[in-house]
Each structure stands twice: as structure tokens, then as C-alpha cells.
């Protein structure tokens, strides 16, 4: 794409986040057209050096050893942003940040409680400069401004939020102590909620002229994601255990083996169950007392799972999907290679290819999942080199760094 055309193209966000949770959320905003200015310390966001890395990044003998000073991890969550370098321990650079905030809609950070305050650029200081600004904080256990937590000063990572929220407890094989998700959902979901919270608060600020502080606790966000843990215990004092490959209440509703992997099948309703039985050429299962509805099938899980597994295991993923696709909710357990070959992914522009700086091959990251007809979203700016846009952004904001 040629530029910022998304529906948030009139919003400017000062992004002081690093690692994964915060940058993921601000990447969503940038995808939607927001003018996201990534503020990095002199040594940059530590995520820049996280693999996968381009060939000339890791080769010190290359003519351009830092043709791209970032890897795929950084690229996938910092696309569509501009980078400036500020040392917030330096008085002059603090003033630059305050000047940026004076003309921005929002600022976001994911440092530990009190860090920005000690640096002299906390919410109250920034609010004095711009009362309309929205200040978003993403922390492990929230900020004392919105609710004091006994864990407020604890550091946190994705795995901590997954575990404390109950998400890890209900993930993994039945009988296990729990497993983390295969993706960093304890970062990604809080980051997503942060983006939603920011847009909502900016909407309020434009309507009232009043900005505000808001935060998203990683633990809190993951509690919202694992709402079924809360609801089951809140209603019946029922503690859900590790889910395994199947739903705790519905059957069939899980992953079944095939000759080349696995396939998801969900047929809890009468119509879907009938379609599945017909595809399996097992009409007897429609009247069997062990399989007559989803709740009975769940009580007889071993039998039902065995009958379906015997059918799927004799076929490939694609053969199963060909037999029931469009009639029964189903889908193959895709590998990355499967995803790249999927016509849906191509049709929906969910893989974005671009050229890295330097002597590097073309690479790919995920595209934007939010699609509009009037205000298209997508990839319009490569992930930035460290400080690549410092002079450009300061000039745009009318900030003279050399002025006394």
C-alpha cells in the first residue's frame, strides 16, 4: 500500500512499548492507519535481535553486516511504524518526549510500575502538558492508579499470565498439570485489549476534551480470555481440568488423527452429527443410545472418539475435509507450509511479503485480519531501522533538538 489509509489515520500514538505485548497492540493500531511513532532507547528494543534473523544481520564479515537491524520477531509487530531514538534519562530527550505528547492523541508504555514516573515523564506530568492525551499502560498486574494489586511490582511474562489466569491449567493432555499455549497469548491478547482500550479512550477524549489514564493487566486480560474457567466455577464450583483434544461439554468437538496429522471436527448439533454420520457411512450412530445427542456422546467420549478416529485415521487431512467440508464444521491442523499454500490465506492477503534492507531475500510476515471496504488496511511501511525516522518526526512536530 502507498500510505496510511485505515480508519485511524487521524490518530497519533507515541509508542514507548517494547518486547511483544505492547508492540503487538500498537501494530494493530498502525495497521488501522494510526500514525505510530516508536520511541526506542539508544540501544533499541531488545526484540530487534530475537530470531529469526536475516542472513547479513548475523554475518560480521558481510559488507553490510546490519543491512536489516531486526529479525522476523521484531518485524511482525513493528510494521507500519516509524522509529525515533530518545534517551529518557537525558533532560533534553525527556523534553522531546513531552513535546511529542503535546501534539499526540495517546502515549503507551509497558514498563514496570513507577518507571516512567521516576524518569519524570509519568502520566501526571504528560497530562499537565496535554490534558486531552490518553495514557495507556500495559503491565503484568495493572497499575495502582486503577486498582492496587499485591503483585503490582512483580515482573511478568506471557507464561506467568497464562498460568495465573487458569489458561495453562485447562490446556494440554487430560491428567497433566497444564500446558502453555503454542503462541504467546499472554502477551498478544493483552496487547489487543490495549489497542481497543486506547481507541475507546481517544473517542471519549475527542467527545469531552478530557484525556485519561488507562491500563491493561496481563493477568486481567487473560482472566477475560479464560472466562469459561470463571463461569464454570462461579456457577457450579466446577474446576475445569486440562482439556486435552476435546471439549469438556460437547462431542464431537476436537481434534482427530489422520494419516498425515490431525483434523478438527465439531458436530455437536443434530444436523451436523447427521451429516458426519452419513459421510462416515455410519447411520447406526444416529439411533445408538450412546450417541443420540451431544451430552450423551460426551459421557461416552471414549466410544464416540474411537468410532470417529477409526474413520479419520484411515484418511489424509484433505480426504477428511473433502468428505465433510461445507457440511460439518472442520479444518485440517495446518503446519506453516500448509498455511502458506492455503488459497484462503492468499485471497485474504494474510501473508505480507517485503524486501529487507541489505543483501537479504524477500521475507514474509502476517497480514492484517481487519478488513474494510472504504478505508483499506494493510502493509504500507517496512519495519523501521533503529532511529530511522528521528529527524523526520522531530521536523514534523516542529521540534528543534538543538534549541536551548
Q: Specify which residues 139 forms β-bridges with.
A: 217
The radius of gyration of the chain from alpha carbons, rounded to an integer in Å, stands at 25
CA distance 318 to 332: 7
CA distance 83 to 392: 10
Q: Are the beta carbons of 393 and 387 closer than 8 angstroms?
A: no
Phi, psi of 325 (to 5 degrees): -55, 135
* 3-class state of residue 3 by DSSP: coil
CA distance 389 to 79: 14
Q: Which of 266, 257, 261 lies closest to 335, judged by CA?
A: 261
Dihedral sign for Cα 386, 387, 392, 397, please: positive
Q: Are the beta carbons of 52 and 76 closer than 8 angstroms?
A: no
Contacts of 92 (CB under 8 A, 6+ apart): 401
The angle subtended at Cα 347 by Cα 346 and Cα 353, nearest 5°, is: 35
The total number of residues shown for the chain amounts to 404
CA distance 281 to 14: 60
Contacts of 160 (CB under 8 A, 6+ apart): 140, 186, 218, 219
CA distance 332 to 306: 19
CA torsion 278-283-287-288 (nearest 10°) is -110
| Residue 287 among the catalytic residues | no
* 3-class state of residue 16 by DSSP: strand
DSSP at 136 = E
Which one of the listed residues 45, 158, 187, 215 is annotated catalytic?
187
Across the beta sheet with 253-258, the strand order is 253-258, 261-266, 330-332
Contacts of 42 (CB under 8 A, 6+ apart): 85, 87
Q: Are the beta carbons of 190 and 121 closer than 8 angstroms?
A: no
Catalytic site positions: 187
Amino acid at each position: 500500500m502507498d500510505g496510511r489509509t485505515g480508519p485511524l489515520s487521524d490518530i497519533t500514538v507515541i509508542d514507548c512499548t517494547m518486547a511483544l505485548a505492547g508492540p503487538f497492540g500498537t501494530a494493530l493500531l498502525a495497521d488501522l492507519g494510526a500514525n505510530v511513532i516508536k520511541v526506542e532507547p539508544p540501544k533499541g528494543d531488545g526484540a530487534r535481535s530475537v530470531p529469526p534473523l536475516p542472513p547479513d544481520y548475523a554475518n560480521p564479515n558481510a559488507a553490510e553486516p546490519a543491512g536489516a537491524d531486526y529479525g522476523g520477531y521484531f518485524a511482525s509487530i513493528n510494521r507500519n511504524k516509524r522509529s525515533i531514538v530518545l534517551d529518557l534519562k537525558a533532560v533534553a530527550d525527556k523534553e522531546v518526549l513531552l513535546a511529542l505528547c503535546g501534539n499526540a492523541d495517546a502515549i503507551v508504555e509497558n514498563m514496570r510500575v513507577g518507571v516512567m514516573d521516576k524518569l519524570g515523564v509519568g502520566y501526571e506530568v504528560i497530562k499537565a502538558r496535554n490534558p486531552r492525551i490518553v495514557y495507556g499502560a500495559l503491565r503484568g498486574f495493572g497499575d495502582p492508579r486503577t486498582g492496587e494489586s499485591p503483585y503490582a511490582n512483580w515482573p511478568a511474562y506471557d507464561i506467568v499470565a497464562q498460568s495465573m489466569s487458569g489458561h495453562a491449567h485447562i490446556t494440554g493432555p487430560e491428567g497433566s498439570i497444564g500446558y502453555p499455549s503454542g503462541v504467546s497469548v499472554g502477551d498478544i491478547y493483552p496487547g489487543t485489549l490495549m489497542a481497543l482500550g486506547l481507541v475507546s479512550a481517544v473517542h471519549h477524549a475527542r467527545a469531552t476534551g478530557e484525556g485519561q489514564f488507562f491500563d491493561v493487566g496481563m493477568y486481567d486480560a487473560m482472566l477475560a480470555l479464560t472466562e469459561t474457567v470463571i463461569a464454570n466455577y462461579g456457577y457450579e464450583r466446577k474446576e475445569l481440568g486440562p482439556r486435552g483434544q476435546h471439549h469438556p461439554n460437547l462431542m464431537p468437538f476436537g481434534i482427530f488423527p489422520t494419516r498425515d496429522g490431525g483434523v478438527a471436527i465439531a458436530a455437536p448439533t443434530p444436523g451436523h452429527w447427521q451429516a458426519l454420520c452419513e459421510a462416515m457411512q455410519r447411520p447406526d450412530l444416529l439411533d445408538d443410545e450412546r450417541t443420540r445427542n451431544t451430552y450423551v456422546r460426551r459421557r461416552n467420549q471414549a466410544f464416540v472418539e474411537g468410532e470417529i478416529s477409526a474413520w479419520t485415521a484411515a484418511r489424509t487431512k484433505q480426504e477428511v475435509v473433502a468428505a465433510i467440508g461445507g457440511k460439518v464444521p472442520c479444518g485440517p491442523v495446518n503446519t506453516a507450509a500448509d498455511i502458506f499454500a492455503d488459497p484462503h490465506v492468499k485471497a485474504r492477503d494474510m501473508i505480507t511479503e517485503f524486501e529487507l534492507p541489505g543483501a537479504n531475500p524477500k521475507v514474509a510476515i502476517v497480514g492484517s485480519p481487519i478488513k474494510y471496504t472504504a478505508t483499506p488496511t494493510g502493509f504500507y511501511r517496512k519495519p523501521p531501522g533503529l532511529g530511522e525516522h528521528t529527524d523526520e518526526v522531530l521536523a514534523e512536530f516542529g521540534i528543534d533538538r538543538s534549541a536551548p
